[in-house]
Structures are given as structure tokens and as C-alpha cells.
Structure 1
Amino acid sequence: MRPTVEDRRSHQERILDYLNRDRKGAKRHCDRVLQSEGKNYSVHESILGAASDYFRTMFDVEMKEKYDDVVPVDKIPSKRLENILDYAYLGDIEVTEDNVMEVLEDAEYTQMKDLKTFCITYMLQIVSVDNCLKFRADGLRYNLDDVVTKTNQTIAENFTSVLKQEDFMQLDVDDMSAIIDLRPKTCEEAVFTGIVQWVNHNVLQREELFVNLFSKLDLASLSSDIISQVYKESLVKNSLVCNNILLEAVLKSNSPVPVDKSCEFALIGGGGSLKQCVIYDVNTKQARQLPQLKNNRVLLTSQKVGDKLYVIGGADYWLWFTTKPYKSGEMLDLNEQTEWCAVPDMLVARCECGAGLIQDHIYVTGGGDGLQYLSSCEKFDIPNNQWIRINNMLHARARHGTVVYKDSLYCIGGWDGSKQLSSCERYDVRSDAWNEIAPLNQARYGLACVVLDENIYAIGGYNDGYLSTVEKYEVRMDKWETAASLQHARSGHSACVVGNKIYIIGGIYGKEKLKSVEVYEQASYAWTVAFETEEPVYKATVVAL
């Protein structure tokens, strides 16, 4: 009769358990000491040699460590070395998603093949949309072919979801390119959006990489509507190479050549038409009515998000200091155009504020609450339908300009309650921090601001008199320079960009309430009067459609 397999396994476990307790306790039979971070660990040379090719080589080959009683293990922190020793003696170790790569690194370093295989098996079991990019990078780093294959499969099957992961924004260009190559050919629109977001995440370093990534897209598979949206993206529009790539795709697919079909703006609220919402066509000069606002609003702000118009804040009439500004906002679905619906109240009542859209958030800056001018700011989280406080601006300001350029918020000029401002500041959404940028050459409030072809324009306003002057901010140079002046000085006007032209609507000049709409074309470097609105418009808000 011979011992069974279970008997032999039990015998082996008792011996290893005894030796493990010996190294941690009496150390009667230990013949080596490992040292990490100043801590000593007594061990048995034979056990380590059997469990680890690294230690077996160290103890067998003519190396310095072969004759040292104390062997330093500098590459493995002490706590992790304890876990490795537990595995060497007992085959027991806790591996989690958080520590699997540390354990694998230690297994790689100590050449514990069974432990490395265990880690790889575990990684293959837990690969998901949330971790596939990280595990893919780890797999490439350690030549884990099975892990790379599994993560590639996960990426291909869940590509649209993977694009939304924060790890996606941290990829270098080589990994980004390789990830794009894994995509199924049914998600080109999502891939284009992901490329744009990736470039804009660090635009100063990545903008020059856009063309190569853009060239990987199968643009011919996109619908004509999506092609038009691609054409409107500034990274495409400002690149001759991208324009040629897009044109080639259009010709290949027999789609109509993309044009900027947007030729309308919506003029909302303001003095003289507190509830009105009117759409103007800049080509036909014709107007048509949208449903009226629920509340009178003047000195309000607005944003277009997809097919929805949002109006935020304001007051009941333009002498706002005699009434309390609103916390409330309203939303109109342009597809239905039935009625304006209430949206959640802001955290702070405010009018004369500014607003900008960055991804899925409407940012609202400064303004006045009826008692004081504000430096406070907040953002509306559209998917979660709630307002969230963000850090204050460096200066209180109202009647200022607010624009968005490459996922940063810019606040220009304004009034702080005692003086007109020339100061300007930029908000970084990633760090939730405001920083000063170059000041205007001429302080002004009641101005209008827009972005056109990578420049910020500060237009008109008031400074001891009504202004016709215009300044242009070159973001890369952090510098304001003089641009062409308006035909008519004005303050309290509205501005938007339609068809790559700047439109200035209404405003005030002294006691005169203005109807005129001026348009600026870069080719002529001049403002001209385009048409007039049906009624005088001032202290209103405008959005391009």
C-alpha cells in the first residue's frame, strides 16, 4: 500500500507550512536573509530556488550574492516581497484588479512562471470596457500576447464606449493610431468625434497629429449630413490636407459637396421684446417667430445644445437693479417648437452674465444678483440635469464677454461695480482654475464677443462713451490687436457667427435703441450694415442655428 495523492499533498503542505512558520518565527532552519527597504526576511535557500528561477540562478551561479548571507532585493518593496514569499512557500497570494500589475511585475522580476501565468489568467477574466486600454498597454509592455489579443477584441466590440474612457485621452499618438485600426467600420462618426476630443485634450501638442489620424477614417461611408458636420469642425476646416481628404471621400461616395447650411440665428428676449424669440435668415433677411418665453427676460444669456435652445437667468426688464434677477432658465426643443420648458434653477440668481458650452456642460460666469457684481460661476450638467459650483473668477465682472475656444472658457472685460475692466481670464475645465491672460487695449463693458477662425473678437461696448472699436485676441500669441471698427458705435448688442461671418445685432447708442445688423467679412476686413430687425433689440441674447 502506498500513500494516496491526497496523502502526499497533505504531507507536502505540512512541510511547507512548517518551514513558512519557521522563517517567520524561530528561524532555526533558515540559511538566507532577503532585505528590502531596511527590513530583513529570513528564508530557506532551497525553497526560493525551487519557486523562483531568479533566486535559483543567484544561489547556483558564481555571483556575489551566492556567498552573501544578506541579499538585497531593491526592486521589490517590502510589503510586496512579503506577498511573494507567501506565494513561494504556500502558493497563496491575493490578486485584485488594483494590484495585478504589481504582482505580475514581481513575478516577472523573480521569474516565478506559475505566478505570472496566474496573473495573466486573472487579467483575461476581468478585461472590460473600463480597463481594456490600461490592460492593453500593460500587455504590450510585458509581451503578454493573450492579454493584448483579448483587449483588442474588447475594444473592437465596444469601440464607442471605449472612446469615452479617460484613459483614451491619455494615449500617445502611436497607441491612438493602433486603437483606431482596431475599430469596426460601422462607427466612423464616433471615431471622428473621439479623434477631435483627443486632439483638443492637449491641442498645443496634438493639433499637428490630427491630419494623420483623420486620414485613417473611411469618410466615404458617412452620410451627407455627417460629412457636413465633419466639414464644420475647425480642425478640418483649417487644414488644406483634411479638406482634400474630405473632398476625395465625397467624390468617391457621390455625396453632395458639404456646405455650411447654417444661415440663421435666433434672437431671444431683450428690451422691447422681453418674451420674443425670433429667427432671422441672414440670406433672405426674413424673420419667423418661435414660441414666446414663459417669462419676460432681459440681460439673459443662452446656448444651443444639439437641437435644444437654453436661456438662462436675466431679469424682468433692463433696469435690473430695481428687481431681483432670475435663477430660472427655459429650454425649447427646435424639433418640436411647441413651448419653452423650465430647467432647474441656478445656484445663484444672476443677470448680465455670460455663458459657454463645453462638452455636456453649460458654464455661466459672473453677472449681478441685484445687490452686487459676481465673481462666482457655475455649470449645468446637462445629462444629470443639475447645477454645480465651479471656482470663482479672479475678478467680479458683469456685462462682459464669454466665449469658448478649444474647451477653455474666456471672460473678457466687463464692469466690476466701480470701473470698466480691461482684464481678461481663461478657465481650464480640467484643473478648475482661472488664469489671467493679456488685457484688452481698451477697457470696455456691454461688449459682445465671438470666436472666428481661432481668434477671439471683443466688439463695441462702453468706456466713457459708446464704442465702435473692435479688438482681436490671438490665442497662441496671448495678444490683443486692433481690428476693423463697426459702422456704428453701440453697447448692449448681441453677436454670433453665421457662415464664417460675424453678425452684430441691435444695441444702444445714447437714448437710441438700434435695429441695425452689421456683418464682418474677413476677406474685406470691413463691417457693413446687412439689414434691420423688425423692432429695436437691446440687452437680448442670440445663438447661431
Structure 2
Amino acid sequence: MSEVSAKRRKLTRTQVLLDARSDAPEFSLTNLLQRDRNDEQKFCDLTITHDHEKIVLHRCLFGTTFSFFDDLFSKVAVDFGIVEIEDSNKFQRIKDFINNIYEGRVVEDPEIILPEGFEKAVVDDTDQSALDKFVRHQLNSDRFGSQKYCDVTISTGTRQFHVHKSIVAVQFEYFNKLFTTEMKEKHQSTCHISEIDDESMALVFDFIYTKKIWVNQDMLNDLLAVTDYFCMKEFSDEIENCIVEMISHNNCIDIWIAGIKFKKQILIQHAEQQICAHVFFIINSNQFRNIDQLYMEDFIKLIKGKVSDDQLMKCALLWIKHDMDKRMEKFEMFYDMIEPKSLSQSTWVLLINMKNLVSQNFAAAKAVIPYMRQFVPNAQTELALDTMYVMCQSGDVYSCDMSALKPKAFDNHSIFVPKWVKIKTADYNISKRSLPLIYGFEKLYAIDYDKAWSLRDANWQDEVRLTTRYSEGAVAFVGDTLYVASGTFNCKLESYKKDFSGQRTTQHSSMKYDRSCFALVPYDGYLFAIGCKRNTKPTSKNKRRQQPGLSVLPSVPIEVYTIKSNTWETLTLSGPDILNVKMYLVRQNRAYIVHGDDTIQVATFDLARRQWVTGMNAETGIVERCASLTLGFPDFGSCTMGPPLPANTFGSAASFGSGLFGR
């Protein structure tokens, strides 16, 4: 641990000082070199002799620091790292001076002139020994200057670093082993380390030589990885101390993961404190959504007990949703950690609305059973689904038999799994993709901007041109007549007979309310316009009104068109806001409206009594499940439901179910 962490200060908002200097003698460079000199002398590369006496030393330490030794090494012949001194008195003075330097002392000698500024450095320095500081400075100057005493080159592949083998080896075990084992690097003057980038490697050597460097804050985690690679505990501890001071709720997850990776218990401890203190902020943040799968289980275990099971499951689902394809396999692990009975309706709705998860992951499909069975009792229901047709945004059309989606499909041993079949590839004659679909007269129709297409002989056929251009409206068949309601402002209603003949039959009176993305539901000589795209600001024409004895009205109330009299009326009903209708199903006298943006909601409207039906039951449960499977189809654009199309329509088309579904 650094003894001067209190001295750490920020240079700018993006840089921080790493300062591992210490006044303690045992951490000085000369002391580390002395240990090598006293032990195996692995990196002592020069011997000074006189008769039978000798002194072993590290050439770069004295050659870079004292001009006397630089001259000595240059003028005297050096054979096999040996310098011979004939004068015994001179040899003794040199021996005493060298030993004192290794012990961290400077004893003046009349023949050995101290470097200029050395005494000033002694006086001015207050945070570490003057000798150690000066020695490091001289060595660092040599590697950036003449490189006279640099004896090894470290290459990253794109940059070379000239260093002193003994200096880097005595300070860090990685380089010690690199230069002393039987690795090829032992016998080479150049070592290749391609795993570390140039910038990080430069910082490593700056730290080795000076023990004090400025680094960008966003590099600290990367430097932890580098110090782990090089086994640089001192450098790693200093980075850890620095990161601890920077931990906040905005970065605690990234730091927690770094602590786990590099076994930094202090980082883990401080990061976990931040996580637990700000758990509700964190689970809604991007750093949470980006947690790697390797650490997600530990994270959930960490916050379990700090949040409810409901909140725990919700945050797990949001994490899965962020990268569905790669993370959906983790659902079962999360689900096993919680008590399903504790989940709120909003969490169940979130799960059901994760259509890809529920349709592709068996554990998720099985998990929704307890929730769905509350609304789908064992008793049989008369609701029967048919074939679902989906047009993708690419223009491809698929079908799926939904008739098997009954109450029994929620049993543990008979979970319904949809099987989608492509029945038509994209047709580039159509002006745009994902057109609204409707089934009628044993045909599939697509309503384009200014025309209606029908699918015949495996191709889209131009059936009729629309007088009013269609835009986010609704369509419905009543008998042999196609009704088209369109126009965001002053929504118009038009009708076309079955034979079409390319002409509009009738233009009917316009609706009173502006609406789009709504359902046009046919029933017993009436057309019900239900829903709109979004809530709008109240206007004189379309505003919320409070009626005596009723809750606030929906922003766009239901309008009913009487076909026989060509008149519209507005229903004054309290009920849900039906926004952005996805599809609807009519069964007997009830319309099941599927709507919403981020979540699937099913609202039931009694067409005969003209009132909303509250609560959920077997039918709404089945519709909700059908909708989650359909809207979760990859690249979903639009859909409709109807009986199987004739076999000759597509040649190889499969035969499916019965009913009337529309959008």
C-alpha cells in the first residue's frame, strides 16, 4: 500500500495521479538491487577486481548516475563484465563508495564528483530519499536519451521500449522470470509482448522508473488488467487505492466487476456498498443492462434481500430484454431465485410482453403458467382461435395455426409452441411493407396507401384503388362490403362491394373524432370505432369530460356507426384508454381489443350491451397469450386471423384453424 495516498490529487477532471513513492528505505531502488547483489546476483552484470578481491554491481546504476564510473567503464577494458583496478587504495575507495550507495548512503570521495544538482535535490526533496529519486531520474533519462546502459528492448509489435534489465527485473516478478528462466527471452536482447497496447506499456515503464505517473481515469480499469498480467502488485494496489476514491453509484458496477476479475477485495467491498445503497437507481441504469452474463448471477445474489422478489425479477427481465438472444437462457436461473407468488401483475405483464422470450424459451413459457391459470381455469371455454397471418416489415407473410391454444395449452405437460410457416415472400410491386391485413371471402387482403391488394395465385393482385388515401386507419368486412376508415384528421368512412370493380360504392358520413391506429369492429349492422394512436391534448372537439357518477372518460371515446341510417353516435362510457390498437378478436357479442406500446393489454368490450367488461377470464388469458406469441414474431409488422386459405392459393400452404381476427 502507498504511504502517500493522501497526497493524491487530480490534475484535471479526466486525469489522476498515481504516486507510489515512499520514504521507507526498504522500498528504494538501491535496496532492491542490493538484495539481488546479496542473493543470487542474477542481474549483477559487472565485477570490479583487485588481486583476489572483487565487487559485484549493476553497471547501469553507477554508469548513469556518476560520471566517474561512466568514465571508468569507458576507459578501462571490460572483458566478460570484469574491470580490474591495480591501485589497492583506489579499489578500496571505490568499494566503500559502492557499498554505501547500495545501502542508501552517499559518502563523499574527492575523486568521485557528485552530479550537479545532487545536493539541491537532497535539500528540496520532502517525500522520499534524495538518492533514490535522483537514481531513478538518471536511469529514466538514459532510456529516453542515449540509451547507453539500456541492455534489453521490449517490443509490443508497433513500438519498442529500451530499458535496463536489472531495473525492471528487481522490481517486478514477471520481468524477473522473463529474463532468468529458460524462456527464449533469456537469450535475446529483444522481448516481444504483443498482448499489451503501446499506451499501457509506456505507463508501466514510467511507473517502474519514477513511481509517479498521471493517467486518464478511464484507463484505470485497463491498467488493472495490465498489472494483473505483469503481476505488479505494488502498481495494482496503487491503482486500487485510486479507484476506491472514485467509486460512485454511476460506476460501481464496472468497478465491482473489475474487483472480481483481478481479485481486489477492497474494490469489491466498496463497490458493493455503493450498489446496495443505490440499488434502485442502479437497476434502471445502462451499466446494469450491460453487465456480462458471467457476473449477473453474483449481482442478483448480491441485491437479493435488498429488494423484493418482485423488483429482483423485474430487473432480471430488463437485463434479459437488453440482449434477448444471448441472455434468455439465464431466465430459469433467475426464476429459481424468487417466489412466483410474490410477483406483481406488472411484472407478469412485463414477462408476457417479452414475446421472444416466452415463445422461444421453455422455462419462460412454463413460468407464465401460474399467472395465466388464474384467468384460464380448467373449465372449457368456447373461444376458438384460427390461423394467424403475419406480414413482416420486410414484406414476407407467415401463418400459424393457433387453434390448439386452449386452456389445456397452459398445463405443465402441454405447453403450446407456435409453428410459423412462410406462405409469401416480399412483393416489391407493393409500395410499402407491413401493410394492415384483413381476411375475407377466403382471401387475404393488404390495405396499401391508395389501393387494396388480395392474395391470389401466389401473388398480390391489385383489387381496388381507394378514393381517400389510407393512413393508419382501420378496415372491416360486413357481409360483401369492405369498409375503410382513414384520415388522421376528419376521419372518413368509405365502402366497397365484394366485386369491387375498381370503384367506391359509397362515401359515408365522417367520424366526429380524429383517430388513427384504432379498431373498426363490425357487429349486427353497426361499426364500432374503438381506440386511437395516442392521447392528445384536449381540444374543443376532442377533450376529456367528467360525467356525473362516472370516472374520467377516455381521451377518444367509442363511436358507433349505424350502417342502415348512415349516422355516427358517441358512447358516453367510463373505461380504459385504448391506445395503439394492435389487433382484435370478435367472438359472439364480445370484442377483445389488444392494445399498447411497450406492454400487451387486452380489453373486453360487450358489443350487445355497449359496455366494458372488467377483469380477466379464460378468454382474455388466451387472447393475451396469442397476442404475445404473434406480436413477438421477429420483424413483426401487422396481422389478422381467419380460416385456412384455400390450398391452391399457395400450392403448398398448410391448412389451419377458424374465427375472425382483424387489424
TM, length-normalised to structure 2: 0.41
Q: Name the structure where strand makes up a greater proportion of residues.
A: 1
Larger radius of gyration: 2
TM, length-normalised to structure 1: 0.49
Structure number with the bigger relative contact order (C-alpha 8 A, sep ≥ 6) is 2
Q: Name the structure where helix makes up a greater proportion of residues.
A: 2
